[in-house]
A and B are shown apart, each in its own frame.
Chain A
Amino acid sequence: MALQIENLSKSFGSVKALCDLTLTIPEASFTCFLGPSGCGKTTFLRVIAGLETAEEGTIRLAGKDMSKTPPSDRNFGMVFQSYSLFPNMTALENVLFGLECRHWPKGDRKKRALEMLDIVQLADQAEKLPAQMSGGQQQRVAVARALAPRPSVLLLDEPLSALDANVRSELRTEFRNIQKELAITTIMVTHDQSEALEMSDQIVVLNCGRIEQSGSPVEIYAHPRNRFVAGFIGSFNVLEVSRDGSGEIRFGSQQLTANAQADAAIDSGVVGLRPEAIKVSSEPLGLENALFGTVTKVRYLGNLQILSVQPECAPDQVLDVELHGASVLSRPSERVCLNFASTALHELSR
């Protein structure tokens, strides 16, 4: 079911944790709340769950106002960051707990619980206690437990952040598949942009209790609305530019060509340029823009090298460039040419 959030505000004493948030979460979609630590992601999720009450605003589920409904009656499923399985119960008993609370018919409970454990591929671990399971297994059981009573919305608060990298990437795919299969409206909190990009239908970027931008991963990545979003999703080169007398965009001493849309919008004095949109060569490749510069730093990451380049036209700035699969290691102080198309330049608001 779709969720509509309107004008939601919440403060803790003098700290304003959420400011006037308005957002629609479409039915059966996977939405990620993304943002730096302390930006209010968890608080937002907990307000939706009903575990915190907002001072202002409404939360509507399929058109019905839920703001006054206590959390236990909302029938939302929730998975917490730290393992929240009841330590005195086996995996199966944990999953059964919600079915008992929701007064499922006695005969159906066990079948449903085993079915859910099967969905998270833990049917064979049903009799284990949480302490006898790995972190990843515990989080799967937590998902099975949350989903068993057929919640109308599933809420996940950094469910993967306590796990190590391999398990995390495995579970990303698995959780996403389960979500698609059950077609359940899901909101996940994360501070990991790659997790958000990989899993979501919709990303909501939060900063200081406000929504900076919301949209599909492609929209957010390709068209960040402002400097904050650009910097937070992937890395972005931010170029300080100006307009000369004839209205052209100048980057230091050199003129740049942007596409018409970006060109029209550039008034803020900054443009964004994704590192991977830059092609490195020794001579210009014939794209609309080409700058010469000196390599100042090389970071070697295996399949990837990240070069920091000081452009000759604007020596007080530094551009990051990504080289994929290059077998030859670049060296500092090498002179290179940076080529990029006019479409690679994005306008950013400050």
Chain B
Amino acid sequence: MTDQTVSMSSRLRQFRLSDKSFATAVSVGILVLMVIFLVIPAVSILLRSFVGDSGWGLENYTETLNSGRIRELVGNSLTVSAITAALAVSLAYVYAYSIQRTNVVFKSFLRIVVMTPLFAPSLVQAQGLIFLFGRNGAFNRFFGFDFDLYGFWGIVLANTLYTFPYAFLILSAALAAADARLYEGAVVMGAKPMRIFQAITLPSTRYGIAAACFVSFSLSITDFGNAIVIGGDFNVLATEIYNKVIGQGKFGLGAVIGVLLLAPAVISKLLERRIARGQHALITDGSKPLVIGINRSRDLAYGIYAYVVAGMFLAVPLIVLLASFVRLWPYNLSFTLKHYSFDVQNGAQPLWNSIVVALATALFGVVLVTIAAIVVQKFRTPLRGPISFLAILPTSIPGMVLGLGYVLAFNNPANPLNMLYGTFPLIVLLYIYYNHAQGFLITTTSLKQISSTFDEASTMLGGSQLRTLFKVTLPILWPTLVGVAVFFFMRAMVSLSAVIFLITPQTQVAAVSVLQLSDRGANNQAAAFSVCIMLIVLAMLLLARSVLWLAGAKNITLIR
């Protein structure tokens, strides 16, 4: 070897070493962040639940569990969530069936309409339903009825709308994966449609149905926005934490209920995982896609159903839009823009705050999630295991519980990061770690699809891990990252339950403003705020879609 190549290879070796220490440093850094912003808050809530007025012990638990009230609340929460799950999943199943297995028209319209609940804070469902069917709603007023939606059925309806899109996405995927060979076989044997449905369709989508039920159930039991707005005197666990902590300042009792709330969420998440694994095995290699036959009357029936459901989903944002433009819904319907002047509270400041927070969440969320995914997928460090475990842990922590954990962990002078408390950076971090699991999973899935041959080709050419990352991996991955950024942005714009304990008058965000305005009876202004949130989310979606379209990346999912 010549002198030149010898010195070159020794230089390379040095770089390689720094390459390795870089990988270690990054892995340690990402793990430390996860511990601080995920593990410590979760542990804080657990510890705090054991600290009562007279020191350590089970005092909070005995006090909470012995009261008749808690039994009632648990009962309420379970009933509401079970009925919500049953309703949302059956409605979504038939809806997904209409789209996947019949020839209804304008399928992409039908698909997008039921996604609208994702563009707004969950309580917008409650808001819209009140405008429609509340005591002073359009229905009672214009048709002379006198029924009251507040309470049990209000929460069930609002949560059904709110969890429908999640159930629909799961069921739609389950119904899309059909093996035509089974159906052809059944038809040849002369089976009737109902029999075919029972014998083939239902069994092959049972995993999807179960998964959708669990998702709908856990979303519903942990949701706070709808319950507080439309629940009236009907209390559930999520509103009780809020009352205990915000109303009475009893953190220990709040923590106990938080722990209670964690249980069903964790259980349904674990079951969902197991079920998802079963689902994969159903689609075998030789599967043949299903061709939908022609059947006018079937299409008509399903079409009517689908458009009625779609109508309900459109009605909610439309009525909110309408209410934001009239003087006083439903008494004075004259047009006005005054609700958009935001002359109460902090004015439009919460909206700007939300935009900044959401942008920061999108930016830093993508960076953190991508690093975590790369560490797990590409770095051979022993920290991969713990990192990948913690990366998907947040799916099982309800937003309210994590938020309360943040308060307990950071509103504590003993914590060196105490100065973060009451600042926007902490809210951004909460949003990032609350939504970490989905962002991480999306990125990991994409990263797995990038062949490891590229890494090996680069290595053989003398490329370092870093060079491969910046020159090859990230340039291929970026459209997915845009999708992840949009996901983080949307979640930060609309999440209410996670930040409810963390905001201060100086760090107000839009979703909380909607809640406070509607709490004070300023429903039309609350509507105007909701409309602004939805428009910002829509604008972001359109922007991202156009950027991706211009770059030729057309098959990136933005709405999840």
Q: Are A86 and B457 neighbours in the complex by a CB distance under 8 Å?
A: yes
**Least CB distance, B556 to chain A, in whole angstroms:** 16
Specify the chain A residue showing the minimal Cβ separation from B475: A88
Cβ contact of B16, chosen from A70, A88, A145, cutoff 8 A: A70
A77 interface hit (Cβ, 8 Å): yes
Q: Are A86 and B462 neighbours in the complex by a CB distance under 8 Å?
A: no
Which of A4-12, A94-102, A225-233, A241-249 sits within the interface? Answer: A94-102
B108 interface hit (Cβ, 8 Å): no
Cβ contact of A84, chosen from B12, B16, B457, cutoff 8 A: B457
B107 interface hit (Cβ, 8 Å): no
Q: Are B472 and A88 neighbours in the complex by a CB distance under 8 Å?
A: yes
**Least CB distance, A115 to chain B, in whole angstroms:** 17
Q: A51 with B456: in contact, given A72-B16, A84-B451, A87-B476 (CB under 8 Å)? A: yes
Which of B404-412, B438-446, B463-471 sits within the interface? Answer: B463-471
Cα distance A48–B475 in the bound complex, in angstroms: 30
Q: Are B460 and A102 neighbours in the complex by a CB distance under 8 Å?
A: no
Cα distance A71–B463 in the bound complex, in angstroms: 10
Cβ contact of A102, chosen from B454, B459, B461, B472, cutoff 8 A: B461
Residues of A within 8 A of B464 (CB): 72, 101
B458 interface hit (Cβ, 8 Å): yes
B453 interface hit (Cβ, 8 Å): yes
Q: Are B460 and A78 neighbours in the complex by a CB distance under 8 Å?
A: yes
Cα distance A146–B460 in the bound complex, in angstroms: 8
Within 8 A of A (CB), among B461-492: 461-464, 467, 471-472, 475-476
Cβ contact of B459, chosen from A71, A82, A86, A149, cutoff 8 A: A71
Within 8 A of B (CB), among A54-90: 70-73, 75-78, 80, 82, 84-89
A309 interface hit (Cβ, 8 Å): no
Q: A80 with B13: in contact, given A71-B460, A101-B462 (CB under 8 Å)? A: no
A-B contact count, CB below 8 Å? Answer: 75
Q: Are A97 and B460 neighbours in the complex by a CB distance under 8 Å?
A: no
Cα distance A348–B450 in the bound complex, in angstroms: 47
Residues of B within 8 A of A86 (CB): 454, 457-458, 471-472
B504 interface hit (Cβ, 8 Å): no
**Least CB distance, A67 to chain B, in whole angstroms:** 15
B8 interface hit (Cβ, 8 Å): yes
Cα distance A86–B477 in the bound complex, in angstroms: 12
Write the B1-21 contact mask toward A (1 if CB under 8 angstroms, else 0): 000010011011100100000
Cα distance A72–B472 in the bound complex, in angstroms: 16
Cα distance A86–B11 in the bound complex, in angstroms: 25
Q: A80 with B462: in contact, given A72-B16, A73-B13, A101-B467 (CB under 8 Å)? A: no
Residues of B within 8 A of A77 (CB): 460
**Least CB distance, B460 to chain A, in whole angstroms:** 4
Residues of A within 8 A of B457 (CB): 78, 80, 84-86, 145
Residues of B within 8 A of A84 (CB): 451, 453-454, 456-457
Cβ contact of B460, chosen from A72, A82, A87, cutoff 8 A: A72
Q: A75 with B462: in contact, given A86-B472, A87-B476 (CB under 8 Å)? A: yes
Task: Identify which of B13, B461, B462, B475 gathers the most chain A CB atoms within 10 Å of its CB.
Answer: B461
A171 interface hit (Cβ, 8 Å): no
Q: A82 with B453: in contact, given A72-B462, A101-B462 (CB under 8 Å)? A: yes
Q: Are B462 and A73 neighbours in the complex by a CB distance under 8 Å?
A: yes
Q: Are B12 and A97 neighbours in the complex by a CB distance under 8 Å?
A: no
Write the B544-559 contact mask toward A (1 if CB under 8 angstroms, else 0): 0000000000000000
**Least CB distance, B548 to chain A, in whole angstroms:** 15
Cα distance A149–B456 in the bound complex, in angstroms: 16
**Least CB distance, B503 to chain A, in whole angstroms:** 42
Count of chain B residues with a beta carbon within 8 Å of a chain A beta carbon: 24
Residues of B within 8 A of A88 (CB): 472, 475-476
Cα distance A315–B286 in the bound complex, in angstroms: 43
Specify the chain B residue showing the minimal Cβ separation from A61: B1
Q: Are A97 and B456 neighbours in the complex by a CB distance under 8 Å?
A: no
Q: Are A72 and B456 neighbours in the complex by a CB distance under 8 Å?
A: no
Within 8 A of B (CB), among A7-32: none
A197 interface hit (Cβ, 8 Å): no
Q: Are B8 and A102 neighbours in the complex by a CB distance under 8 Å?
A: yes
Q: Are B463 and A97 neighbours in the complex by a CB distance under 8 Å?
A: yes
Specify the chain A residue showing the minimal Cβ separation from B476: A88
Cα distance A73–B11 in the bound complex, in angstroms: 10
Q: Are B453 and A72 neighbours in the complex by a CB distance under 8 Å?
A: no
Specify the chain B residue showing the minimal Cβ separation from A95: B461
Residues of A within 8 A of B13 (CB): 70, 73
Cα distance A97–B451 in the bound complex, in angstroms: 18
Q: Are A103 and B472 neighbours in the complex by a CB distance under 8 Å?
A: no
Q: Are A73 and B472 neighbours in the complex by a CB distance under 8 Å?
A: no
Cα distance A102–B461 in the bound complex, in angstroms: 7
Q: Are B460 and A76 neighbours in the complex by a CB distance under 8 Å?
A: yes
Q: Are B16 and A73 neighbours in the complex by a CB distance under 8 Å?
A: yes
Residues of B within 8 A of A145 (CB): 457, 461
Specify the chain B residue showing the minimal Cβ separation from A98: B461
Q: Are B456 and A80 neighbours in the complex by a CB distance under 8 Å?
A: yes
Cα distance A13–B454 in the bound complex, in angstroms: 25
Cα distance A97–B462 in the bound complex, in angstroms: 9
Specify the chain A residue showing the minimal Cβ separation from B13: A73
Residues of A within 8 A of B463 (CB): 72, 97-98, 101
Specify the chain A residue showing the minimal Cβ separation from B450: A87
**Least CB distance, B452 to chain A, in whole angstroms:** 10
Q: Are B9 and A73 neighbours in the complex by a CB distance under 8 Å?
A: yes
Cα distance A86–B471 in the bound complex, in angstroms: 9
Specify the chain B residue showing the minimal Cβ separation from A85: B457
Cα distance A273–B132 in the bound complex, in angstroms: 91
Residues of A within 8 A of B451 (CB): 82, 84
**Least CB distance, A95 to chain B, in whole angstroms:** 10
Cα distance A21–B472 in the bound complex, in angstroms: 35
Cα distance A97–B459 in the bound complex, in angstroms: 11
**Least CB distance, A320 to chain B, in whole angstroms:** 35
Residues of B within 8 A of A102 (CB): 8, 461-462
**Least CB distance, B376 to chain A, in whole angstroms:** 20
**Least CB distance, B383 to chain A, in whole angstroms:** 21
**Least CB distance, B12 to chain A, in whole angstroms:** 5
Specify the chain A residue showing the minimal Cβ separation from B467: A101
Cβ contact of B461, chosen from A51, A70, A82, A149, cutoff 8 A: A149
Specify the chain A residue showing the minimal Cβ separation from B478: A88
Residues of B within 8 A of A336 (CB): none
Cβ contact of A73, chosen from B12, B467, B471, cutoff 8 A: B12
Residues of A within 8 A of B456 (CB): 51, 71, 78, 80, 84
A49 interface hit (Cβ, 8 Å): yes
Q: Are B475 and A101 neighbours in the complex by a CB distance under 8 Å?
A: no
Cα distance A350–B472 in the bound complex, in angstroms: 51
Cα distance A80–B453 in the bound complex, in angstroms: 8
Residues of A within 8 A of B476 (CB): 87-88
Q: Are B461 and A97 neighbours in the complex by a CB distance under 8 Å?
A: yes
Write the A161-200 contact mask toward B (1 if CB under 8 angstroms, else 0): 0000000000000000000000000000000000000000
Cα distance A251–B414 in the bound complex, in angstroms: 95
Residues of A within 8 A of B459 (CB): 51, 71-72
**Least CB distance, A137 to chain B, in whole angstroms:** 17
**The 3 A-B residue pairs with the shortest CB-CB distance in the complex, in nearest-first order:** A98-B461, A101-B462, A88-B475
A-B contact pairs, 19 of them (CB 8 A): A70-B16, A71-B456, A72-B459, A72-B462, A80-B456, A80-B457, A86-B454, A86-B471, A89-B471, A97-B458, A97-B463, A97-B471, A101-B461, A101-B463, A102-B462, A103-B8, A103-B11, A146-B461, A149-B462
New A-B contacts (19) at CB < 8 Å, excluding given A73-B9, A98-B463, A145-B457: A72-B12, A72-B461, A73-B462, A75-B5, A76-B460, A77-B460, A82-B453, A84-B453, A97-B461, A101-B458, A101-B462, A101-B463, A101-B467, A102-B461, A102-B462, A103-B8, A103-B11, A145-B461, A149-B461
